[in-house]
């Protein structure tokens, strides 16, 4: 039997106090990695400029990403919501060719995947 049913009262329900419902539990949106993939058609300078412009990275951090993508083939440039990850991936794909290399025909490749 609920606690309020046992409480003494005079029949006047205007002063009846019911228990408060529990506060809803806030769910966090799942996060996604934006992953930049290496190729031989873009320079370190291109990667640095792109990451500074698109992600607001400082040049030293952008350089670290350029080194990582060059040495391992990939680098996680941001972990964020799905919608922002899609936007950032699309911005990488639209950044264009590297003007420093004649053979650069287009943008770098990027993917998104769930951060677990």
DSSP E strands in 15-73: the ranges are: 31-37
Model confidence pTM above 0.85 = no
Q: Spelled out in words, what is the top-level CATH class assigned to the domain 29-114? A: alpha beta
Residues in the chain: 116
What pLDDT, in 10s, does the model give residues 6-65?
655 556 556 667 677 776 777 788 999 999 999 999 999 999 999 999 999 999 999 999
What pLDDT, in 10s, does the model give residues 72-87?
999 999 999 999 999 9
The residue ranges of every structural domain in the chain are 29-114
Interior/surface letters 60-76, b for 16+ CB within 10 angstroms, e for the rest? eebbebbebbbeeeebe
User: Cα(111)–Cα(32) distance, rounded to whole angstroms?
Assistant: 10
Check if the beta carbon of residue 98 is closer than 8 Å to that of residue 46.
yes
User: Cα(55)–Cα(67) distance, rounded to whole angstroms?
Assistant: 17
């Amino acid at each position: 039997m609920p606690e309020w049913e046992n409480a003494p009262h005079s029949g006047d329900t205007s002063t009846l106090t019911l228990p408060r419902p529990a506060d809803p539990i806030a769910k966090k949106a799942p996060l996604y990695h934006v992953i930049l993939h290496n190729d031989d058609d873009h320079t370190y300078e291109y990667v640095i400029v792109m990451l500074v412009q698109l992600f607001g990275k400082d040049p030293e951090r952008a350089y670290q990403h350029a080194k990582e993508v060059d040495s391992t083939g990939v680098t996680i440039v941001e972990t964020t919501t799905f919608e922002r990850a899609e936007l950032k991936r699309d911005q990488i794909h639209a950044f264009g060719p590297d003007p420093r290399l004649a053979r650069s025909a287009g943008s770098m490749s990027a993917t998104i995947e769930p951060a677990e």
